[in-house]
Structure 1
């Protein structure tokens, strides 16, 4: 298949692009800059210049493809409403281009904020969270003849080179000289290795039925105390509990996330798509020193 991928030069997108190409698919990656274009070309993919606000470019990319994987998203937490609005417009444009074709269209979403213990693929995402409302709109495209689905990623997609949540926590620990966790540290943090996540995206594009939700979750919930202790080992700083009321002051914007208890299952995903995570877990990546680098 010829797959149009937005976010193809990003952390997850570059792994997905490489996985799709290795499996024999052709990838066209959306690039908003020369740097992104160079990264996409180096992976062996075709480059299409454009950005998420360029709806004509998105429609053209979708129309010229056998399927779309939409991974690009603005993760600036100070502009969450704007990011969700841009994403909604992009999803609508791509959906219009694919309507009636039966082609696959999968978008990135997340498991954070899902209710239940464990939250499953059948757990509905609340529409009051803008990104989940966009995910629900994508699922509804199945009624318009699109093999649409949602890729709910764990909050940490880890591996060497990850600059996400865990890297932020390591940076805070380095700055403050202590690797903190909230309360007793029993809160759970789902995780998946980036290579396992990329394989799952490929399987979804190849096999998943219309209206499918998949959970890119290899570990249902690593205790946050274990995460902090592993960060501490890597940086040679002590691990320490802090009260929940001090989390925001200590961690900043990431405090509310790290203080959550998020227990998420991927049992249905594994069963339906034959996905078996094979890479090492989050604590092993931490102990390998990937997050100890300044």
Structure 2
């Protein structure tokens, strides 16, 4: 299968990529950092360097994928110590970019990880998740 993974080579992305490549899948890993390219390729995956804030980049990268793993992450948005950072706004923006890219790319299955949401953000999480419910019956959320 042709699988695209967002979230680069973090705590989830790296072992997931390693396992998928080991099982014979073609994997593309999206990273915003050019310096990750060699590490991604060393695992046996293809690197796609770009930003989650760029819906056109995402759509082009998702095109032809059988599965797209979508992850929202704090990293790359702002420092967690920045009291003025609008993480909810950033998550919503990236979520909207994912939605647009998925629609444009015509991919088949979309997996979403929401592990970074905190209890005080539950209302926003439900609102965010409801954007996808019913529109993409093959969406997998855990």
TM-score between the two structures when normalised by the length of structure 2: 0.79
Structure 2 regions of 5+ residues with no counterpart? Answer: none
Q: In the aligned structure 2, how far is the partner of 1:97 from the partner of 1:46?
A: 21
**Is residue 8–residue 17 contact of structure 1 (8 Å, CA) maintained in 2?**
no
Structure 1 regions of 5+ residues with no counterpart? Answer: 115-124, 152-294
Q: Where do 1:13-52 residues align within 5 Å?
A: 13-52=13-52
Q: In the aligned structure 2, how far is the partner of 1:23 from the partner of 1:67?
A: 15
Aligned residues, how many?
134
Distance 1:18 1:132, change over 3 A: farther
Displacement over 6 Å in runs of 4+:
none
Matched, 1:150 2:112: no
The root-mean-square deviation of aligned C-alpha atoms, in Å, is 2.4
- Output one character per residue of 1:83-131: Cα deviation in whole Å (capped at 9) or x when no partner: 22222222212331355x5x110111037429xxxxxxxxxx95x22x4
- Output one character per residue of 1:166-203: Cα deviation in whole Å (capped at 9) or x when no partner: xxxxxxxxxxxxxxxxxxxxxxxxxxxxxxxxxxxxxx
**Is residue 87–residue 134 contact of structure 1 (8 Å, CA) maintained in 2?**
no
TM-score between the two structures when normalised by the length of structure 1: 0.41
Task: Pick 1 or 2: higher relative contact order, CA cutoff 8 A, min separation 6.
Answer: 2
* Bigger CA radius of gyration: 1
